[in-house]
Chain A
Amino acid sequence: MNAKPLIIWLVLCFAGPAVNAQGFAGLGTTAAEGFAQPSPDLPLVFPRDHGAHPDFRIEWWYLTANLTDAEGRRYGVQWTLFRSALAPGEAEGWQSPQIWMGHAAVTSARQHFTAERLARGGIGQAGVSIAPSFQAWIDDWDMAGDAGIGQLDITAAGTEFSYALRARTQEPLILHGAAGYSVKSTEGQASYYYAQPNYQVAGTLTLPSGLVEVTGMGWLDREWSSQPLSQDQNGWDWFSLRFDSGEKLMGFVLRRADGGADFRSGTWITANGTAQPLPPGAFQAEPLTQSTVAGRQLPTRWQVTLPQRDVSVTVEALNPQSWMDLSFPYWEGPVEVSGSHSGSGYLEMTGYE
């Protein structure tokens, strides 16, 4: 699970440590106040569901890419648009209850650049439109393409970096959980969750050292909900791994604050693009090495196993210092995979004090 939703709610907290008594960024608070709730009986419809769902409390459009330049140097790129609703629905102008936040990052083995944008809904400063074509934007950052999101052009810029990427794919979308209905706790918290993990990406990074032409693979996650975490869950570790065999693994651990059993789940994606939900507990991730990041200890090397698929790999951060030091800080960065399978991917960790 792409844990960012919480972050959004954090927008409304401006606070330091992401975990509080009510779960990360208030995400564990009871769903109510008229927000819509995910239901397994309402199937996803595209391209409609590429757009925003203002009746749900939280939502994001989350693209990560593992890229390589001509000399074989590795890079990670993140482009994220979060939506958080103060109240369900949309209204004109400043009266809109929707708040938007953009995060962008470029990571190399040695450097990690981040940027953030905040915007109000209703006035056109940020949003997502699906007709006549797809466009997600905040300020001057864009992710735009065709209605089926098979072709996306992505731009973002911060004080020290900018990038412009093209993402292309013919592959079908992956629906997580039960046709996109993804359960997040044993008590039944759930979200709508689908992905497009198969983008061929090419473009230019502008870094302080100059322009870098890059190519690689991108992974788009889409998720929305009104209460994805249980009250006693306080953070998560989320993996999106792309193996050289063509198979992919999305797995997450929702950690419990009270020492009880963590909630683990994920999806196995076959080389031909078929999604197979993993049974609860099948996905295993154990920390191997801790690093000191932004004054706290974080696991930046993991042992990930999925016995039923004979997966036993070491997942290691390309740059352990991939700290997103923004309004709501968290760790997000590219990882390298070795062991029974090799490949690359992205790791996100939240809720570490």
Chain B
Amino acid sequence: MIRAALHTLLSYWPRHRFQLFALIAGLALATALWSAVQAINGQARQSYAQAQVFLQQLDGTSLVSPGGSLHLSDYVTLKRQGWKLTPVLEGHYRNAGQSIDLIGIDILTSPQAARLFPAESRGGDPDFLRAMLREPGGIVLHPETEKLLPAVLKEMQIFRSEAVPLGLAVADISVVSRLLKRPDDLSRLILLGDTPPDVMPSDSQPAGSGADMRPPDTRALASLPAHIKLAPGGTARMNPGTLTESFHLNLTAFGFLSFIVGLFIVQGTIGLAMEQRRGLLRTLRSLGLPFAQMILILVIETTLIAVASAFIGLILGCFLAASLLPGVTATLSGLYGAEVSGALSLQPAWILSGLAMTLAGASLASAHAFYTLWKLPILQAPSTQARGQRLLQSYTAWAVAGIALSLGGVLALTLVEGLIGGFMFLGGVMLGAALLLPYVLWSVLGIAQAWARAPLMQWLWADARAQLPGLSLALMALMLALATNIGVGTMVSSFRLTFVDWLDQRLAADLYVTTLDDAQGTEVQAWLRQQGLTVLPIRSKKVQHSTGQIQIYGLRDDKIYRDHWPVISAGPDIWDLLAQGRGVLVSEQLARRAGLQIGAHIDLPTGWPSEILGIYADYGNPHGQAMVSLPQLLKNAPDVDNLRFALRLDPGQLKQVINILQERFEIPRENITQSDVAKARSMAVFDQTFLITDALKLLTLAVASFAIFTSLATLWNQRLPQLAPVWAMGVRRRSLAQIDILRSLLMAGLTAVLALPLGLLLSWALLVVINTAAFGWRLPVYLFPMDWLALVVLALLAAGLAALLPAWRLFRISPNELLKVFSSER
């Protein structure tokens, strides 16, 4: 019996191939978008995790010198006192325009050393150690980092290890100190096992047992020289997690949204299939098939279709992820400084999650159909009007739930801090608005119907309302897609506009030069000044702050800064006060992170000015930054590098100066940057970010219009009984078809209008709430009405296209078919 029943039910699909296609396509599209996003996120997280494992130890509790580097003699003195330490020297190595971050460890004592052994010789390889320690030395890096390696370093022994984070190279400290020409510097001293000095029995007070098993005690810490401080783990380096998390949240939100939109399609299709097979089901029941078995068969059927769709979706998702990943990688490294492997590796986790999501989605989408099947008397024929009455009740219930959800979102925004609160707000308001939509449309159409005078118009409005039940899910999907488009589009465009302005301000000079060493820097600058040119030195010092390391720049008092510097908020006369060394400007990120305001004081090491004179924008920089006057910088850090400077030039001088710098001073071309080139490069990195969001935006919209299309196609058969009497009363098929398209456009247009405020709310949340929480800077909101217009047109176009096929069928339908409606009613 079950076999026969299953066979009977399945035989429905070959006769309704389009429905089957819509069902599988809907599920597969939803799965593809979801799993692509998961794959990308998974890949990125895997890269972070690998980096994290490696960096954790390097980021452990350390001794640092808040004013700058430690001296080698500090290390030796502390070791002689019995501190268990291992030294780290970090730096940026530049050569002939290429550069890489180097981390130098003592390969004999660093706990990291064991991680570096080539995989095939784990447990020890004398050749490896000798290669690392003996000239020319060895370096270990991730296979994908090799392309970044400056050419001169390729002469060294290169070892590849996936344990090393992307974008940096690890070598013995002897090699790194040689390459960086910093023989006496150390970046920090990592405490091994948090141990203080052994206390020798030769001291007047012999130590008890386990002398070096205690954590650093106050006595040991008090004995540290004044310039050395204990730094808790995790401060030495910005954790990419917090910065990139919002990016991944964004992607996940997009993926989830697309998935939901896909489910709307599925629900519509399954609902239709149930509706159309009601007669079949009734026959099966009459033949003695128990209700439970019938449900079981339907569950099996749904599962089969879901699994097939899941596999198609996973394959599509894989391709989608692979094509988006390069952009994601570029974005993460360009904008966030987080390196992610560009090669997609298949992880069982995302395959399983994709499969699970599809099955869960399919059951969710079919739950309503099963429920209807269970609730509705099996002998009752479909009646649009009767169901419509019931739907009005549920619309009201939905609307109440929608208002509650929106209010919950607003409440979350006020109660929950940071990103989570922002996303709860978004989730609540978006879902709430979607639930409200059918009620609002129902009411608006009702009002229009009441106002209509001509009978045909009255029928048009009434018929639109009658269609609403079948279309509401698709329209909800459309509204979410449109709102997302408006929101994300506004964010992207605002971001871009702000960024362009800011780049113009920050790169106000015409030429940026990096000399090869300090001596050359001084020489070149002196010569350029003799030529009467304005030289603006770019000199900075890294300083330890309670929020992590910050970079302090020394600014020469110049009109260019007074005119162009992107100051967001400032007290009076900031440039005069800054020039007099009376205070400091801080970047917006630093100000937010440390809770600083104009007039407050920042806790810099003694000697530095501390009063906050102003706050300036520093988009895209994960690290805190501050500005003092150049004399103040030199007073506090006399030995600071003098390698970089900017030049203001007349357009005619540009080429000539570049030539002189190259020929007379032999500065490599790579070390000379024109600001317009730098701007273009920055914009390119920046635009990469939004290629991904653009792609997802379009895909979401496409899925939504597909939902409308399948809904309309689904409604087709139900609509004939309503169209036939109108036709019989003399309205021509051509007019009917036109009215059909018009109605579809009307619904889409109404939805688009309602989506607009929702989209603006979304962009406000993204720009003001989520961006500030994620990055520490707030972006001004710019409005782009032309973009919205384009979007509304796009929505209308999508709805029109979706309505075209049913309208065409109506236009071409033979009167015979329409007449049949009447004969069937008998």
Chain A residue with the shortest CB-CB distance to B202: A164
B174 with A94: CB separation less than 8 A: yes
Residues of B within 8 A of A204 (CB): 201, 206
A164 with B201: CB separation less than 8 A: yes
Q: Which of B73-81, B271-279, B582-590 contacts A (4 or more CB under 8 A)?
A: B73-81
Partner of A118, one of B109, B126, B174: B109
Q: Does B17 reach chain A (CB closer than 8 Å)?
A: no
CA distance in complex: A122, B82 (Å): 19
Q: Does A43 reach chain B (CB closer than 8 Å)?
A: no
Q: Does B402 reach chain A (CB closer than 8 Å)?
A: no
Q: Which of A154-162, A171-179, A188-196 contacts B (4 or more CB under 8 A)?
A: A154-162
Partner of B76, one of A95, A124, A153: A124
CB B537 to nearest CB in A, in angstroms, measures: 30
CA distance in complex: A159, B202 (Å): 16
A86 with B134: CB separation less than 8 A: yes
CA distance in complex: A160, B208 (Å): 9
Residues of B within 8 A of A209 (CB): 209
B123 with A206: CB separation less than 8 A: no
A160 with B209: CB separation less than 8 A: yes
Q: Does A119 reach chain B (CB closer than 8 Å)?
A: yes
- Known A93-B183, A155-B200, A206-B206; contact A12-B212, beta-carbon cutoff 8 A: no
Partner of B177, one of A14, A93, A99, A119: A93
CA distance in complex: A103, B287 (Å): 90
- Known A86-B134, A208-B209; contact A157-B200, beta-carbon cutoff 8 A: yes
Partner of A140, one of B81, B109, B206, B209: B81
CA distance in complex: A123, B89 (Å): 15
Q: Does B72 reach chain A (CB closer than 8 Å)?
A: yes
Which residues of chain A from 138 to 159 have a CB within 8 Å of any chain B CB?
A: 139-140, 153, 155, 157-159
Which residues of chain A from 200 to 254 have a CB within 8 Å of any chain B CB?
A: 204, 206-211
Q: Does A11 reach chain B (CB closer than 8 Å)?
A: yes
Q: Does B184 reach chain A (CB closer than 8 Å)?
A: yes
Q: Does B677 reach chain A (CB closer than 8 Å)?
A: no
CA distance in complex: A12, B183 (Å): 23
CB A167 to nearest CB in B, in angstroms, measures: 14
CA distance in complex: A92, B178 (Å): 11
CA distance in complex: A176, B212 (Å): 39
Query: Which secondary structure characterizes the binding site on chain B?
Result: loop
Residues of A within 8 A of B178 (CB): 94-95
Residues of A within 8 A of B73 (CB): 124
As a 0/1 sequence over residues 45 to 87 of chain B, the CB contacts with chain A under 8 angstroms (1 = contact) are: 0000000000000000000000000001101100111100000
CB B646 to nearest CB in A, in angstroms, measures: 35
CB A73 to nearest CB in B, in angstroms, measures: 18
B124 with A14: CB separation less than 8 A: yes
As a 0/1 sequence over residues 771 to 811 of chain B, the CB contacts with chain A under 8 angstroms (1 = contact) are: 00000000000000000000000000000000000000000
As a 0/1 sequence over residues 197 to 241 of chain B, the CB contacts with chain A under 8 angstroms (1 = contact) are: 111111000111111110000000000000000000000000000
Q: Does B106 reach chain A (CB closer than 8 Å)?
A: yes
A12 with B130: CB separation less than 8 A: yes
As a 0/1 sequence over residues 73 to 115 of chain B, the CB contacts with chain A under 8 angstroms (1 = contact) are: 1011001111000000000000000000000001011000000
CA distance in complex: A14, B130 (Å): 12
Most B C-beta atoms less than 10 A away, residue of A94, A125, A206: A94
Residues of B within 8 A of A14 (CB): 123-124, 129
CA distance in complex: A139, B174 (Å): 19
Q: Does B482 reach chain A (CB closer than 8 Å)?
A: no
A140 with B198: CB separation less than 8 A: yes
Partner of A208, one of B123, B130, B134, B210: B210
Q: Does B133 reach chain A (CB closer than 8 Å)?
A: yes
CA distance in complex: A204, B129 (Å): 38
Q: Does A120 reach chain B (CB closer than 8 Å)?
A: yes
CA distance in complex: A162, B201 (Å): 7
- Known A92-B183, A93-B183; contact A164-B200, beta-carbon cutoff 8 A: yes
A140 with B197: CB separation less than 8 A: yes
Q: Does B769 reach chain A (CB closer than 8 Å)?
A: no
CB A69 to nearest CB in B, in angstroms, measures: 15
CB B479 to nearest CB in A, in angstroms, measures: 64
CB B109 to nearest CB in A, in angstroms, measures: 5
- Known A12-B130, A93-B72, A157-B211; contact A120-B106, beta-carbon cutoff 8 A: yes
Residues of B within 8 A of A86 (CB): 130, 133-134
A16 with B123: CB separation less than 8 A: yes
A140 with B80: CB separation less than 8 A: yes
A137 with B129: CB separation less than 8 A: no
CA distance in complex: A95, B124 (Å): 23
CA distance in complex: A160, B211 (Å): 7
Residues of B within 8 A of A120 (CB): 106, 108, 174
CA distance in complex: A87, B178 (Å): 17
Q: Does A97 reach chain B (CB closer than 8 Å)?
A: yes
Q: Does B173 reach chain A (CB closer than 8 Å)?
A: yes
Partner of B212, one of A26, A99, A159: A159
Partner of A162, one of B126, B177, B200: B200
Chain B residue with the shortest CB-CB distance to A22: B126
Chain B residue with the shortest CB-CB distance to A203: B201
Which residues of chain B from 177 to 191 have a CB within 8 Å of any chain A CB?
A: 177-178, 183-184
A206 with B173: CB separation less than 8 A: no
Which residues of chain A from 1 to 31 have a CB within 8 Å of any chain B CB?
A: 11-16, 26
Residues of A within 8 A of B207 (CB): 162, 206
Chain A residue with the shortest CB-CB distance to B84: A139
Residues of A within 8 A of B210 (CB): 159-160, 208
As a 0/1 sequence over residues 107 to 122 of chain A, the CB contacts with chain B under 8 angstroms (1 = contact) are: 0000000000011100
Q: Does A346 reach chain B (CB closer than 8 Å)?
A: no
Residues of B within 8 A of A61 (CB): none
As a 0/1 sequence over residues 120 to 139 of chain B, the CB contacts with chain A under 8 angstroms (1 = contact) are: 00011010011001100000
Q: Does A163 reach chain B (CB closer than 8 Å)?
A: yes
As a 0/1 sequence over residues 487 to 521 of chain B, the CB contacts with chain A under 8 angstroms (1 = contact) are: 00000000000000000000000000000000000
- Known A155-B201, A157-B198, A164-B201; contact A139-B82, beta-carbon cutoff 8 A: yes
CB B653 to nearest CB in A, in angstroms, measures: 45
Chain B residue with the shortest CB-CB distance to A209: B209
B82 with A140: CB separation less than 8 A: yes
A interface list, Cβ under 8 A from B: 11-16, 26, 86-87, 92-97, 99, 118-120, 123-125, 137, 139-140, 153, 155, 157-160, 162-164, 204, 206-211
A-B residue pairs in contact (CB < 8 Å), sample of 9:
A12-B133, A93-B72, A93-B177, A96-B174, A118-B108, A118-B109, A157-B212, A209-B209, A211-B206
Please list the 7 inter-chain residue pairs (A to B) with the smallest Cβ-Cβ separation, ordered nearest first: A157-B198, A140-B82, A94-B174, A14-B124, A208-B209, A15-B124, A164-B202
